């Protein structure tokens, strides 16, 4: 796609795309730090229908131009940093990604709590649609600190997706190569920013609520429970994992937050980025949602499932992804691309339902 034609292309895409996007309410985000200081970020993406994702590399100096209701001109910017990430339905905005400086992040569903600024009275040149925010942040800034400074200069406005008159409710997890993390939440028209040293985020309710909820689980531990003696009788645990008795296993956002925090806090720290990428992949396997596990009504309704899982090594600038149809983790080395290219690089997801056969040595 040539530079500078994004606006009208996106308006046309969104008109058809957003009419069929179903709510995504089960995304899970974590960050791990390797012993050498390498941050590794990982997340799942859940939807109730196939969103036709592509892995995309957005080059430097790529022009974005938002289109607003009534075909009015919206915000314009030119990318400063190249980005690798995931886009859906052919629209050149990422829902997850990492840039060449190691700034990474994702949009997670935030229903019932996202409160955007009204578009009336907002400066169109400093107002972002919800689906534009993450791409704007990743293509313009190198660190979490830079993002925090810039947030006072922009607003995320309540712009319904075309045709369906539906505004996508998001909040955002953002991490950088220093290991810093923040959560950005649109609340009552303002952008509320939380430092997030835990590196964990799920969905609703607000991030501060999740932090308070941790206090309900203070006795949970990766260390096995001791035996208990009552009236001369000793009761020993049945087996391994007794310290984790009571950790929530259901797929609701509060339960996934606690479970993700438990995995992150108890995981053995590994030496470097490559080893930690594999560790993150194993941790995220615990948040896979198979088709049929979540239903909106007794007759089936929307069957939300984990469409893809991504992992990013923020120092090596390597991005990894696997899909529901193909669980093999694929890698993208962002720094191997021409980051000053004139067009987007695209790699469509291809279903590979047949596991590859093992290769045996000859007798």
CATH of residue 173's domain is 3.60.60.10
CA 238 to chain centre: 37
Residue 3 has pLDDT above 70, yes or no: no
Give the pLDDT confidence score for residue 165 in this predicted structure: 65
Give the pLDDT confidence score for residue 2 in this predicted structure: 44
170-186 confidence digits (pLDDT tens): 999 999 999 999 999 99
**Average of per-residue pLDDT across 195-205:** 98
Q: Is 13 noted as a catalytic residue in this protein?
A: no
Per annotation, catalytic residue among 21, 27, 193, 279: 27
- Kindly state whether residue 238 falls inside one of the protein's structural domains: no
Is the pTM of the predicted complex or chain greater than 0.75? yes
Give the pLDDT confidence score for residue 289 in this predicted structure: 95
Residue 19 has pLDDT above 70, yes or no: no
- Kindly state whether residue 263 falls inside one of the protein's structural domains: no
Domains identified in the chain, total number:
1
92: CB partners within 8 A, 6+ apart: 1, 6, 9, 10, 56, 58, 64, 135, 344
Q: How far apart are CA 63 and CA 357, in angstroms?
A: 44
Residue 241 has pLDDT above 80, yes or no: yes
* 304 vs 70, higher pLDDT: 304
- Kindly state whether residue 326 falls inside one of the protein's structural domains: yes
- Kindly state whether residue 111 falls inside one of the protein's structural domains: yes
199: phi > 0 → left, psi -120 to 50 → alpha, else beta; which?
Answer: left
Q: How confident is the model at residue 13 (pLDDT cuts 50, 70, 90)?
A: very low
Beta strands 155-156; 127-128: pairing state:
parallel
- Kindly state whether residue 31 falls inside one of the protein's structural domains: yes
Report the candidate in 73, 37, 78 with the shortest Cα–Cα distance to residue 177. 37
- Kindly state whether residue 230 falls inside one of the protein's structural domains: no
Q: How far apart are CA 7 and CA 76, in angstroms?
A: 9
Give the pLDDT confidence score for residue 161 in this predicted structure: 64
Sign of the four-CA dihedral 148, 38, 29, 268: negative
The percentage of residues in the chain with a pLDDT greater than 70, rounded to a whole number, is 91
| Domain residue limits at 281 | 6-205+272-348
Which two tokens mark 294?
Answer: 């979540």
Q: How confident is the model at residue 20 (pLDDT cuts 50, 70, 90)?
A: very low
Which two tokens mark 64?
Answer: 């974005």
Which two tokens mark 13?
Answer: 């895409």
- Kindly state whether residue 300 falls inside one of the protein's structural domains: yes
Q: Within 13 Å, how many C-alpha atoms sit on residue 225's CB side?
A: 17
Stretch (H or E) spanning 96 = strand 96-99
Q: How many CB atoms lie within 10 A of CB 74?
A: 22
- Kindly state whether residue 216 falls inside one of the protein's structural domains: no
Residue 11 has pLDDT above 60, yes or no: no
Q: How far apart are CA 294 and CA 301, in angstroms?
A: 9
């Amino acid at each position: 796609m040539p530079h500078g034609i994004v606006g009208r292309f996106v308006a046309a895409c969104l008109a058809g795309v957003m009419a069929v996007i179903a709510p995504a309410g089960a995304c899970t985000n974590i960050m791990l730090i390797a012993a050498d200081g390498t941050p590794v970020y990982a997340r799942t993406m859940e939807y109730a229908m196939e969103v036709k994702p592509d892995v995309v590399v957005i080059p430097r100096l790529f022009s974005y131009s938002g289109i607003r209701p009534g075909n009015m001109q919206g915000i314009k910017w030119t990318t400063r940093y190249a980005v690798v990430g995931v886009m859906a339905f052919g629209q050149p905005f990422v829902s997850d990604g990492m840039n060449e400086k190691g700034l990474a992040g994702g949009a997670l569903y935030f229903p019932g709590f996202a409160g955007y600024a009204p578009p009336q009275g907002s400066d169109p040149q400093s107002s972002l649609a919800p689906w534009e925010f993450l791409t704007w942040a990743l293509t313009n800034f190198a660190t979490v600190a830079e993002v925090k400074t810039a947030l006072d200069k922009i607003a995320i406005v309540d712009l319904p997706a075309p045709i369906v008159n539906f505004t996508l409710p998001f909040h955002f997890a953002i991490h950088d190569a220093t290991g810093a993390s923040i959560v950005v939440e649109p609340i009552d028209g303002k952008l509320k920013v939380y430092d997030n040293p835990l590196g964990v985020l799920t969905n609703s309710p607000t991030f501060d609520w999740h932090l308070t909820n941790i206090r309900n689980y203070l006795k949970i531990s990766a260390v096995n429970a001791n035996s208990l003696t009552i009236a001369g009788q000793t009761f020993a645990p049945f087996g391994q994992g007794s310290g984790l008795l009571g950790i929530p296993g259901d797929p609701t956002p509060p339960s996934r937050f606690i479970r993700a925090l438990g995995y992150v806090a108890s995981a053995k720290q590994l030496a470097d980025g490559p080893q930690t990428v594999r560790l993150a992949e194993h941790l995220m396997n615990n948040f896979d949602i198979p088709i049929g596990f979540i239903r909106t009504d007794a007759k089936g309704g929307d069957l939300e499932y984990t469409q893809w899982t991504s992992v990013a090594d923020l120092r090596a600038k390597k991005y990894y992804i696997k899909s529901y149809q193909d669980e093999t983790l694929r890698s993208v080395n962002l720094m191997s691309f021409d980051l000053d290219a004139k067009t987007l690089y695209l790699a469509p997801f291809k279903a590979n339902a047949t596991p590859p056969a093992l290769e045996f040595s000859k007798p």
